[in-house]
Amino acid sequence: MATIAVLGTFDTKGDEHGYVAALIRERGHQVLLVDVGTLDAPKLVADIGPDVVARAAGADLAALVARRDRGEAMTVMSKGAPIVLAELQQAGRIDGVISLGGGGGTAICTAAMRALPVGFPKLMVSTLASGNTAPYVGVKDIVMMPSVVDVAGLNRLSRLLLAQAAGAICGMVEAKVPAGATDKPVIVASQFGNTTPCVTHARQLLEEAGFEVMIFAATGTGGRTLESLVESGIVSGVLDITTTEWADELVGGVLTAGPTRLDAASKRGVPAIVTPGCLDMVNFGEPASVPEKYRGRKFYHHNPQVTLMRTNPEECARLGAILAEKCNQSTGPVTVLIPLGGISVISAPGQPFHWPEADAALFSEWKKHLRPDIRVVEYPGNINDPEFAALCVRELLANLKP
C-alpha cells in the first residue's frame, strides 16, 4: 500500500481532487491531501493546509488572504509547495503525487513536482497539457495529461478522465523494476547526430567494462537533464563528448542549455572527460528563422526544419575560453580531449564545415586559459574515429580509478 499526495487548489477545485482521492483509496492506497489554495474557503479538508505551505515560503497565510492578490498568492505557493513536497518525499511519507489544475494550479503544482527526484511518480492533469509543456516539466519526468474540459466541476467526461488519471498514478506507484535487473555504475554521455558514431562506440566499450551508459541529446533540454542527473548524485562519470549547446548559448541558437551547462560535474567532483563535439555549429529552425545579422555566414541545411550555422574563429575563441573556465571549476579529475581532424561529421576535411582556422582558435584559447594541472590529450583524427572514442573511454576510466 502506497501513500499518494493529492495536491491542488482546494478552494476552487476541491470537489475534483476529492473525487480522485476517493478513487485512489478504492484501489487500496492511502492519500495525503495538500492544499495550495489561498483565496477562498476550501471545499476539501486537507491534511496539510495552505498555512503550512505559505509558512514554508516565509509568508503568513492570513495576510496573504487579506490582500487577495492572486499573483502574490501564486508566487508564495509556488515557492512553498516545492519545499513541503520535497520534505514529504525525503521523509518517506509519500510515494507519488497527482494534481489537477488550470493555469495557476498547473504552475504551482508542477513547481512542486520539479522538486522531486526523477523516478518518483508525478502526474499533472492540466488544461495546458496539449500546448508547450516545457516550462512546467523542466528536466523532470512529470506526466502531463490533458484535462480536455476545464477542471471545473464533475461531468460525464471529467469523471471518466479523472478516473483514468487516478488509475494512472496508482499504476505508477505500483510499478516495479523486473526482478533480475542489476545496478551498475552510471556514466552519462552527451550526443548529437554529428557525434553519434563516437558516442555509440564509446558506449559499447563502457558497457563491456561494466558500466550503464545513459545518453542525452545535446538539444538544450538534454543538456539540462544531464546536468540535473549529475547533481542528483547517482552518476559515477561524465562522457561529455558533445558540448555544442554552448555554441547556441553564446551565439543565440535555439538549442541552448543555459549558462550552467558543464557546471554539475565540475562542482560535484564527478570524474569527466570533455571534448569540443559540435562546437562548429549553431542551431536555428527553417532558413527564414535565421536572424538577419547572420546573413552571409556559412550554413548547412540539415533538414527543412533545422539550419546549422558554422561558428567563426572569433566565436570559437570565445567558446574555448568558456570551456576552459568551466573545466577550471573542477574539483575532481577531468581530461580535455581535442580531435584535431574535425569536431563533427561535417567539419572533417572535405566536408562543408571544415574550417581549420576556426578550430585552431577554439583549441588555442581553451588550452591557453586552462588550469595547468588539467590533462589535455590531442588526437590527430576526427571526433568520430573509433580510435578517438576508445581514447575517450580510456581517459574516463583512468579518471574513475580511486
Q: Assess whether 99 and 164 both reside in one domain.
A: yes
Out of 108, 142, 174, a domain closes at: 174
pLDDT of res. 183? 81
pLDDT of res. 263? 97
pLDDT of res. 179? 72
Closest to 369 in 3D by CA, of 338, 399, 327, 340: 327
pLDDT of res. 181? 62
Residue 128's domain comprises 3-174
Burial string for 339-358 (b: 16+ CB within 10 Å, else e) reads bebbbbbbbbeebebbbeeb
Q: Assess whether 273 and 160 both reside in one domain.
A: no
Is residue 180 one of the residues assigned to a domain?
Answer: no
Counting runs of H as helices and runs of E as strands, what totals does the chain give?
14, 14
What span, in angstroms and rounded, lies between the C-alpha atoms of 7 and 34?
5
Q: Assess whether 208 and 69 both reside in one domain.
A: no
Q: Assess whether 242 and 193 both reside in one domain.
A: yes
Local structure of 305: helix, strand or coil: coil
Is residue 18 one of the residues assigned to a domain?
Answer: yes
Out of 174, 207, 228, a domain closes at: 174
Q: Assess whether 271 and 356 both reside in one domain.
A: yes
Q: Assess whether 246 and 374 both reside in one domain.
A: yes
122 forms bridges with which residues in the sheet?
Answer: 97
CATH number at residue 311: 3.40.50.12030
Is residue 261 one of the residues assigned to a domain?
Answer: yes
Q: Assess whether 192 and 248 both reside in one domain.
A: yes
Are 374 and 327 in contact, with CB atoms under 8 Å apart?
yes
Domain count, the chain: 2
Q: Assess whether 131 and 191 both reside in one domain.
A: no
Is residue 20 one of the residues assigned to a domain?
Answer: yes
pLDDT of res. 40? 86
Is residue 181 one of the residues assigned to a domain?
Answer: no
Full DSSP string of 66-85:
HHT-HHHHHHHHHHHHHHHH
What span, in angstroms and rounded, lies between the C-alpha atoms of 222 and 245?
10
Q: Assess whether 9 and 56 both reside in one domain.
A: yes
Is residue 377 one of the residues assigned to a domain?
Answer: yes
pLDDT of res. 180? 62
Local structure of 30: helix, strand or coil: strand
CATH number at residue 41: 3.40.50.12020
Q: What is the dihedral of CA 287, 290, 295, 298, to 10 degrees?
A: -70
Sheet holding 96-101, edge to edge: 30-35, 3-8, 96-101, 122-126, 143-146
Is residue 179 one of the residues assigned to a domain?
Answer: no
Q: What is the three-state SS of 95-139?
A: CEEEEEECHHHHHHHHHHHCCCCCCCCEEEEECCCCCCCHHHHCC
Q: Assess whether 196 and 150 both reside in one domain.
A: no
Q: Assess whether 157 and 196 both reside in one domain.
A: no
Out of 149, 174, 199, a domain closes at: 174
Is residue 209 one of the residues assigned to a domain?
Answer: yes
Are 182 and 210 in contact, with CB atoms under 8 Å apart?
no
What span, in angstroms and rounded, lies between the C-alpha atoms of 54 and 75?
10
- pLDDT by residue for the chain (402 residues), tens only, comes to 999 999 999 999 999 999 999 999 999 999 999 999 998 889 999 999 999 999 999 999 988 888 888 889 999 999 999 999 999 999 999 999 999 999 999 999 999 999 999 899 999 999 999 888 989 999 899 999 999 999 989 999 999 999 999 999 999 999 988 776 668 999 999 999 999 999 999 999 999 999 999 999 999 999 999 999 999 889 999 999 999 999 999 999 999 999 999 999 999 999 999 999 999 999 999 999 999 999 999 999 988 889 999 999 999 999 999 999 999 999 999 999 999 999 999 999 999 999 999 999 999 999 999 999 999 999 999 999 999 999 999 999 999 997
pLDDT of res. 389? 98
Q: Assess whether 242 and 391 both reside in one domain.
A: yes
